[in-house]
Amino acid sequence: MRELIILGTASQVPTRTRNHNGYFLRWDETGFLFDPGEGTQRQMTFAGVAAGDIHRVCVTHFHGDHCFGLPGAFSRLANDRVEHPVHCHFPMSGQPLFDRLCWTWPEYRRRVLREEPAWGERTVLAHESTSDFGRLEAVRLSHGIESYGYRLTEPDGRRMLPDKLAALGVTGPHISELQREGRIELDGETVTLEDVSAPRPGQAFAFVMDTRLCDGVYALADHADMLVIESTFLTEDAPLGAEHGHLTARQAAQVATDCGVRTLVLTHFSQRYSDPAAFEREAREVFDGELYVAEDLMRFPVPKRAH
């Protein structure tokens, strides 16, 4: 199961209807908690996300709307006696802040948290050869303080074709042997993996928060099946966005179009706007793929593969 659960959608200040940021990505057996802002612990309860579902925490930067939920999420992990490793990713320059936000439960922190910060222009945080889910990378963005976006990329694989398997008489343990070895001998004939399978392109998920337009935004969004991206402002306030290091809905949607994104999720809205439809109208001017203007507690499936 691959699904994005929206825990919060407000930028600087939460509103009556929008919690601070918070996003949970369920990607098969792995759960990623992105940017837990204030109140994330309670939003998890509303959304039915258990602390034990979290395997990785990814923080883009240490502005409060992206990290004030860390102490609550961390305490919840300890309270619920979650004992599997929880990998924590954040900008390396923010280590002193991470230390303060996770100051309680020092013994639990040492035992469970694996602190693996991002640094430089691009950091590979998990490699496809050693992880269950593929590659996880952090790419530097451009904001008032050091900020990173995240990209999850599943390696390309192959999809077995039942008709071809049946036609060539490949059954049971021979199938897994074929997947493992790439070829098998069957009744004196060689059957290769290519004979009975088709390419299955891996999926990609990108998470882009507080940033102005920069190369990192495009590197993260490149052909993503799902792009979650900040759209703090509308074009009428574009100068504010440029000044404070934020995107407009139109800029975010143009990135999605330029990068061939399939599903676009806009979020991180300034509290100055009361009508979310304005973000949709602006994005629709330049993007014709699947588009969601996020509301708290919405859930979006990662779209099925195109092939």
Sequence ranges of the binding site for Zn(2+): 61, 63, 65-66, 143, 210, 268
Q: 10 Å Cβ neighbour count for 3?
A: 12
Is the Cβ of residue 67 or residue 88 nearer to Zn ion in the bound state?
67
Q: Where are the beta strands (DSSP E) in the chain?
A: 2-8, 22-27, 30-34, 56-58, 86-89, 113-115, 122-126, 135-140, 148-153, 157-160, 183-186, 189-192, 197-200, 204-208, 226-230, 263-267, 290-293, 299-301
Among 35, 65, 225, 296, which one carries the catalytic annotation?
65
- Closest approach of Zn ion to the CB of residue 231, in Å: 12
Q: Is 65 a catalytic residue?
A: yes
- Closest approach of Zn ion to the CB of residue 11, in Å: 5
Is the Cβ of residue 210 or residue 282 nearer to Zn ion in the bound state?
210
Is the Cβ of residue 9 or residue 203 nearer to Zn ion in the bound state?
9
Is the Cβ of residue 27 or residue 233 nearer to Zn ion in the bound state?
233
- Closest approach of Zn ion to the CB of residue 131, in Å: 28
Give the annotated binding-site residues. Answer: 61, 63, 65-66, 143, 210, 268
Contact of 221 with 183, CB cutoff 8 Å: no
Classify residue 93 by its DSSP letter: G
How far apart are the C-alpha atoms of 89 and 55, rounded to whole Å? 11
- Closest approach of Zn ion to the CB of residue 111, in Å: 31
Classify residue 16 by its DSSP letter: S
**Which residue stretches of the chain are H helix?**
40-47, 64-67, 70-79, 95-101, 106-112, 162-167, 173-181, 215-221, 238-244, 249-258, 277-284
How far apart are the C-alpha atoms of 229 and 273, rounded to whole Å? 17
- Closest approach of Zn ion to the CB of residue 66, in Å: 6
Residue among 300, 302, 295 nearest 7 (CA):
295
Tokens 């300890």 identify what position? 78
**Interface contacts to Zn ion, rule CB under 5 A:** 11, 63, 65, 210
Is the Cβ of residue 142 or residue 257 nearer to Zn ion in the bound state?
142
How far apart are the C-alpha atoms of 47 and 57, rounded to whole Å? 17
Active-site residue list:
65
